[in-house]
Chain A
Amino acid sequence: MKWVDKLIHLDRRYIYLIVLLSVVLPLMNPMGLPIKVTPSVEASFKAYEDLPKGALVLMSIDYGPSTAVELEPMALAACDQVMNHGQKVAFMALYPEGQALTNRLISRIKELHKDKEEGVDYVNLGYKAGNEAVPLKMGLDFRSQFPTDTRGKPLSEIPMLRDVTQLKQFALVATYSAGFPGALEHIRITASEYGMPLVVGTTAVQTPQYFPYFDSGQVVGIIGGLRGAAEYEKLAGFKGTATGGMEAQSIAHFTVAGLIILANILTLLQFLNKKGRG
């Protein structure tokens, strides 16, 4: 069976091309595949939704450009939800590239909510080095970690944070995390040590690692990868990039799964053929 050998030794660049087409074609021609919301994403959405008007949210932007495609849509949808409900959000970052990515989020907030003001409705506190030492000290004295915003304005002069001296004055903490430092530091300190309600948005690679913390009730919700972001956009009624991306994701998954099955069948045929000849 020459064709079996030929297919098994197919130039891998054809596989790359097939996967590329499985991503590009659905993005060019959206089909409107259904998105089913999972309980962990629904719990995350509800954690924001249940906050009263004027409540303070602390959002830790712990990702860089390489993972922004997964994490930025969910963070943006949550920001839009917060702004629509009249809540206030303070951004911080344990991840060094987080500060620049926060600026991108803020520029989108400014486009979407022209009536919202910096310092009144949102503020960027910037990046703080120190990994778990940062949330640990935030719980003791918030201003020791973030004495000013990124523009150098003291917290006492920022209307929305004028009275904030403790982490517990925030109603909700959320981390959108690509790795270390990020979600684990917040789970260990912010959630477990200080008992703060914590929403974790994370990359697909890390999602299975965090599910036990949702199951144990240590975090109030988990949004995993592009799929989680698409589910969140659906719940929030936000038109972002994740929903469109999920169609490409689904088709690409079918393609990869199909290729794995095909490769296994071919290997089995090759084995049976050799056994038959032997």
Chain B
Amino acid sequence: MEYQLNEIVGLWISGFLTLCVFSFLLGDNPFYKLAEHIYVGVSAGYWMCVGYWGTIKPEIVDPLRAGKLLALIPLILGIMLLFQLSPKTAWVARWPLCFLVGMYAGLQIVFTMDSMIIEQVSASFKPLVAFYPAGGVDIATTIVNWILVFGLLTGMIYFYFSVPHKGLVFGTGARIGIWVLMIALGASFGYTVMARISLLIGRVLFFRDEFWPMIQAILGVG
């Protein structure tokens, strides 16, 4: 495979910066700092471009050019947000912030209530004895449903702080609830380990599948 000069330079920069970041495992050092600063600078530049081309141009510049004066409202609200840069004029920024909070809350309340509370609550009403469509008790589903309902109730008891966690219902229930939460957190931690290892695998695959073949092509081996 033949490589263009820009591909070779790109792969070298990518490989060098990866090693710079990994060098932090040996301790803080100038190479890590270099990679960190480049990352912050490039990210800031990227987000500025995305902000302009993704929001300001299509939502404000283009409509204003087309004579749609309604676009002046977000423009003015956006400019008002910048007033919080000075403590003396920070109060001006409260108005657009109020608008943002109100609009976002309005959007969230309706859809969050529907999708994350009502539908989830209705989905937790499971039959405690499940049957196959053809007839007969589905033992596996029955056990799973019991675990789900039991875990849900004990977990909720643990987070119910209006009565002391004492006695059979609230005391034992809350203690079992802690175990349920621990198991859930353990599963979540397992997935987190998987995600972090995946990132390492991604960089190793980069060296194996992209960087090393480029070196081989340059050296004319392999």
Please give the residue numbers on chain A whose beta carbons come within 8 Å of chain B beta carbons, in ascending order. 13, 16, 19-20, 23-24, 27-28, 66, 68-70, 96-97, 127-129, 132-133, 136, 187-189, 191-193, 203-205, 207-208, 212, 215-218, 224-227, 241, 244-245, 248-249, 252-253, 256
The size class of the interface chain B forms with chain A is 35 or more
Listed A/B pairs (20) with beta-carbon separation below 8 Å: A13-B26, A23-B204, A24-B204, A27-B205, A70-B195, A96-B50, A133-B107, A188-B112, A191-B115, A193-B115, A203-B198, A208-B187, A216-B119, A216-B120, A216-B123, A225-B195, A244-B205, A245-B198, A245-B205, A249-B198
Neighbour of A192 across the interface among B107, B114, B199, B209, CB < 8 A? B114
Bound Cα distance from A191 to B111, whole angstroms: 11
Q: Which residues of B contact A212 (CB under 8 A)?
A: 120, 123
Please give the residue numbers on chain B whose beta carbons come within 8 Å of chain A beta carbons, in ascending order. 25-26, 46-47, 50, 54-55, 59, 107-108, 111-112, 114-116, 119-120, 122-123, 184, 187-188, 190-195, 197-202, 204-205, 208-209
Q: Which residue of B lies closest to A68 (CB)?
A: B202
Q: Are B201 and A249 in contact (CB under 8 A)?
A: yes
User: A116 → chain B, closest Cβ, in Å?
Assistant: 23
Bound Cα distance from A239 to B46, whole angstroms: 33
Q: Are B194 and A253 in contact (CB under 8 A)?
A: yes
Bound Cα distance from A189 to B116, whole angstroms: 11
Q: Are B184 and A192 in contact (CB under 8 A)?
A: no
Q: Which residue of A lies closest to B108 (CB)?
A: A132
From DSSP, what is the main secondary structure of chain A's interface residues? helix
User: B14 → chain A, closest Cβ, in Å?
Assistant: 10
Q: Are A192 and B202 in contact (CB under 8 A)?
A: no
Q: Which residue of A lies closest to B190 (CB)?
A: A253
- Known A-B contacts A188-B115, A216-B119; the reply to A248 vs B204 at CB < 8 A is yes
From DSSP, what is the main secondary structure of chain B's interface residues? helix
Bound Cα distance from A205 to B197, whole angstroms: 11
Apart from A191-B115, A218-B115, A253-B193, 18 more pairs, CB < 8 Å: A13-B25, A20-B200, A69-B202, A70-B195, A96-B54, A127-B50, A132-B107, A132-B108, A187-B115, A189-B111, A192-B115, A204-B194, A205-B192, A205-B195, A218-B123, A226-B201, A249-B197, A256-B197
Q: Are B191 and A225 in contact (CB under 8 A)?
A: yes
Q: Which residues of B contact A224 (CB under 8 A)?
A: 191
User: B51 → chain A, closest Cβ, in Å?
Assistant: 8
User: B172 → chain A, closest Cβ, in Å?
Assistant: 25
Q: Are B191 and A193 in contact (CB under 8 A)?
A: no
Cβ-closest 4 pairs across A and B: A69-B202, A216-B123, A192-B115, A204-B195
Neighbour of B54 across the interface among A70, A128, A188, A253, CB < 8 A? A128
Q: Which residues of B contact A68 (CB under 8 A)?
A: 202
Q: Which residues of A contact B120 (CB under 8 A)?
A: 212, 216
